[in-house]
Amino acid sequence: MLNRNHRIKNILHITVLLVLAVILMFPLAVTVTNSLMSERSIADNYGPVTDRNLSSYNDDTTHHFARFQLIPDVVVLKQYYNVLIKKTQFLFMFWNSVLIAFPIVIGQTIVATLAAYAFAKLKFRGRNFLFFLYIIVMLMPFQVTLVPNYLMAGQLGLLNSRWSIIFPGIFSTFGVFLLKQYMEQIPDSYLEAARVDGANQLQIFLKIILPMSRAGIAAMAILVFIDNWNMVEQPLIFLQDAAKQPLSLYLSRIIDGEKGLAFAASALYMMPVLLNFLYAEKYLLEGIRLSGIKG
C-alpha cells in the first residue's frame, strides 16, 4: 500500500513538472518555429491582434484571434538571411552586447572572488557589519541606485560610454554574496594546513580557495552573464548614442511590418544564453546548491 501511494505521488509530481515545463517552453518553441515561417504566414497568424488597421478583419470569414502555429507549413530561412546579412545592425549591436557583458563578467568574477574570500575566511574588525551593508545594497532594486550611478557617471565623464554600465556591473554585490556562501563551505583545516606549510594569503587563495570554488565561480559567471546580456534600462539611460546600445534594445525597435525579422532576431538573441546554460548546467546547479541559496 505504501509503495502504491509512493508511486502515485511520484506520478503526480512528474505530471506537474511536465505541465510546468510545457508552459515555460511554449514561448521558446513559438519563437524558434515562427522564425522559420514566411512573413505572410506570420501575418495571417498574428495579424488580428498586431495590425493597427483592423478593418480587414471585421468580415465574418476572417478569424479575430491570434493563432499559434508551432509547425511551419514551409520552412523559410529568409528571416535569418535578413538578420545576419542584409540587416547589418543586428550583428553590430550583438557585438555591443558582447563588449558590455563580458567585461562585467570578467571584472565581477575577479572582484567577487577576492571580496568573498575576505568575508568568508579572513577575520577583521567590522566584517559582519560591512557584509550586512552588502546585503542591503543587494536587496535594493537597481532603480534605487540608478540615479546615483548616473550622477557619478556624469561627474567622471562616462555618460554615453560603455564604461558607465561596466563599472557598476563589475562592483555588483550579488557575486560577493553568492561566493561568500560557497567559500564558507570550505573547511578551515585546509587553510590551517597550508599556513603550517608556509603558504601566504595569496598562495592560499590561488591554490586552495579558487580550485575548490570552481563550481561556485562558474555558477556566478553564468548568472551574471544572463543578467547583463538581458539588460534594457541601464543602456537606455546611460547610452544616448544608438550605435553603442546593445542588442536587447534592438529587438524593441523592429517595426510591425517585420514580425518575421523580430522572431529570427529573438531566436538568435537567446542562443548565447541557452548554449551557456546547457554547456555549464552541472556547474550552475552544483554552485547554487553548495552556496546554500534556495529558490
Q: Where are the domains of the chain?
A: 2-55+72-81, 87-291
Tell me what percent of the residues of the chain surpass a pLDDT of 70. Answer: 85
Lowest average pLDDT, out of 42-46, 48-52, 112-116, 235-239, goes to: 48-52
Distance CA 80, CA 85 (A): 8
Contact 211, 150 (CB under 8 A): no
Q: Is the pLDDT of residue 23 over 70?
A: yes
Does the pLDDT at position 94 exceed 60?
yes
Mean pLDDT of 99-112: 94
pLDDT digits (tens, 9 = 90+) for 121-131: 888 888 889 98
Q: pLDDT band at residue 266, thresholds of 50, 70 and 90?
A: confident
As a whole number of Å, the CA-based R_g of the chain is: 24
Superfamily of domain 87-291: MetI-like (1.10.3720.10)
CA–CA distance, 165 with 151 (Å, rounded to integer): 13
CB atoms within 10 A of CB 113: 21
pLDDT digits (tens, 9 = 90+) for 199-234: 888 899 999 999 988 888 888 888 899 889 988 888
Average pLDDT on 6-19 reads 85
Q: Please say whether the beta carbons of 228 and 97 come within 8 A.
A: no
Amino acid identity at 253: R
Residue 162 backbone dihedrals phi, psi, to 5 degrees: -60, -30
Nearest to 113 by CA among 186, 185, 200, 206: 206
Residue 196 main-chain phi, psi, to 5 deg: -60, -35
